[in-house]
Structure 1
């Protein structure tokens, strides 16, 4: 397994010890002492790895997670769901700037994501406008005919 960071992929060692996902839902009290101890040790190792990583890198990795979440929702055309991760990414990139690892890369990624959102929103609006320009029979309406009808109604 690997972890992507702006500096590249880092291999995360696999081990045969149980992981959090191997444990059935419930509280720690429901676990046998051996499993609870293994989980505590795994948590301590994870925390040590996190503390050893540069903070800028960890935060940037979370920003990229927001990018990926926004891009996934855009890919399926879910603009409403894409908006929150894009906005959250924008808040972080715009306000933290050079304090983030790979700030230029993150800024470029945010720009691409925002442009993709705008393009999809515009195409959705164009489709809506085209639908509005057809009457109930599916035929395109003639705006000049509608104006003549409106004038006749106003005179009559």
Structure 2
């Protein structure tokens, strides 16, 4: 409204921005302390879970699941030998989700 003091909103926005910026800085510092292979493995698991969500949907979304499964495969196969102790577990998970995909696709007549 004309004549109203809007400095309060500006101060709040600046304070919120500064708090968010500080939180982001802190998150980045914490993330930098974690080995890259751990972060990548966590992302692979997120993609695996995304595939599982699409496979378990009613009806299953095979196109979306296939994309997530292919992304998991790209990372695991492309980074073979570089993901540490969790690599074997992740490869087994990839084999299992691929098998589930084929079973669901066949059950749908595809």
Is TM > 0.5 for Structure 1 vs Structure 2?
yes
Q: Which residue of 2 aligns with 1:104?
A: 88
> Which whole-Å CA distance do the structure 2 matches of 1:32 and 1:124 have between them?
52
Q: How far off is 1:98 after superposition? A: 2.2
TM-score by length of 2: 0.83
- Of Structure 1 and Structure 2, the greater helix share is in 2
> Which whole-Å CA distance do the structure 2 matches of 1:94 and 1:32 have between them?
45
> Which whole-Å CA distance do the structure 1 matches of 2:13 and 2:102 have between them?
53
Please give the root-mean-square deviation of Cα atoms over the aligned residues, in Å.
1.7
**Which of 47, 61, 82 is the matching residue for 1:78?**
61
Q: How far off is 1:100 after superposition? A: 1.3
TM-score by length of 1: 0.59
- What's the secondary structure of 1:62's corresponding residue? helix
> Which whole-Å CA distance do the structure 2 matches of 1:106 and 1:118 have between them?
18
Structure whose alpha-carbon radius of gyration is higher? 1
Q: How many residues align?
A: 98
Q: Which residue of 1 aligns with 2:41?
A: 60
Cα deviations by residue, 1:24-79 (Å, 9 ceiling, x for unpaired): xxxxx9x6221111111000001001101110000110000000000000011111
Q: Which has the higher contact order (CA 8 A, sep 6+)?
A: 2
> Which whole-Å CA distance do the structure 1 matches of 2:81 and 2:52 have between them?
23
Q: Which runs of 4+ in 1 moved over 6 A?
A: none
> Which whole-Å CA distance do the structure 2 matches of 1:69 and 1:78 have between them?
11
Unaligned runs of 5+ in 2: 1-9
- Of Structure 1 and Structure 2, the greater strand share is in 1
Unaligned runs of 5+ in 1: 1-28, 127-156
> Which whole-Å CA distance do the structure 2 matches of 1:47 and 1:120 have between them?
40
**Which of 54, 69, 94 is the matching residue for 2:50?**
69
Q: How far off is 1:81 after superposition? A: 1.2
Q: Which residue of 2 aligns with 1:116?
A: 100
